[in-house]
Structure 1
Amino acid sequence: MPRRMTYTAEGTHQTLKNTAYESMVVSWLMQDGWQVFIPILDNGHQTDILISDGPNFHRIQVKTLEPGSEEHPITNRWQDSHVNVVVAFARNSNWGYVMPAFSEPKRALNSPGHIKFDQTKNDFLRAFHLLD
């Protein structure tokens, strides 16, 4: 079996993990029938994923956190962008939250309107479809 025998720098390893979560969301949305676009560079627009059903487009920001609880604050890093949806994954557990983008500087993960999901395709899509 192949084994990775080389050292991966901590920053690079974290980027790989974050990108893996984005790829998971891309896969789940594609399986749900969405057209999915990935920006070559999202710097300045805070858009990790762009989705469309044909006439409508939605910008998604994916965040990974190591929360101590569901009350953990998520920091708004998409201020003044056109992000519509934020997906937050708990790296140290098997759950996450999907939420409409908000404008205040911080908000608790489990705030009203934020929908918790288990890190599975079906549960993520259930939560995603409940967004207003």
Structure 2
Amino acid sequence: MPRRMTETKEGTHQTMINMSFESRVVSWLMQDGWQVFSPVLDNGHQTDILISDGPNYHRIQIKTVEASGDDHVMHNKWQGSNVDVVVIFARNSNWGYVAPAFEEDTRPLNHPEHQKFMQSKNEFLKAFHKL
């Protein structure tokens, strides 16, 4: 049976964890019938995933946070970009939020425009469709 025998650097390991959340969203959206595209480079555009239903395209930014509760304040790292939706995962728990991209510098996760979900496909898609 294969076993990883090398140590992964801490920064690299965190990047791998963050990418795993992006992969979850890609999988869930594909299962929902969306065409999903991954930019070769998202530096400057803040787009982790581009989705389409055919005629329409939407930019999605995925963020992970260490959140102790729903009132955690999210910092806007996509300001000035064309991002449409932000998906926020609590790394240290089993929930997240789907939010329309906002212009403020900060906003609490439990803002009325945000939709909370438990980290499962059905819960995520239910929250995503409410936007």
Cα deviation, 1:82-131, whole Å, max 9, x if unaligned, reads 00000000000000000000000000001111000000000000000000
Q: Secondary structure at the match of 1:11?
A: helix
Q: Secondary structure at the match of 2:8?
A: coil
Unaligned runs of 5+ in 1: none
Q: Secondary structure at the match of 2:93?
A: coil
1:103 counterpart residue number: 103
Aligned residues: percent identity? 70
Q: Which amino acid aligns with 1:99?
A: A
2:29 counterpart residue number: 29
Let me know the Cα RMSD of the aligned residues: 0.5
Give the C-alpha shift of residue 5 in structure 1: 1.4
1:5 counterpart residue number: 5
Task: Indicate yes or no: 2:63 matched with 1:63.
Answer: yes
Q: Quick one: distance in 1 between partners of 2:79 and 2:5? A: 41
Give the C-alpha shift of residue 2 in structure 1: 1.9
Q: Which amino acid aligns with 2:82?
A: H
Give the C-alpha shift of residue 69 in structure 1: 1.0
Q: Which amino acid aligns with 1:66?
A: E
Q: Quick one: distance in 1 between partners of 2:26 and 2:76? A: 22
When normalised by structure 1's length, the TM-score is: 0.98
Q: Secondary structure at the match of 1:116?
A: strand
Cα deviation, 1:22-80, whole Å, max 9, x if unaligned, reads 00000000000000000011000000000000000000000001111110011100010
Q: Quick one: distance in 2 between partners of 1:106 and 1:27? A: 29
* Count of residues in correspondence between the two structures: 131
Q: Quick one: distance in 2 between partners of 1:4 and 1:74? A: 35
Q: Quick one: distance in 2 between partners of 1:31 and 1:129? A: 14
Q: Secondary structure at the match of 1:122?
A: helix
Poorly superposed stretches of 4+, deviation over 4 Å: none
Q: Which amino acid aligns with 1:90?
A: A
When normalised by structure 2's length, the TM-score is: 0.99
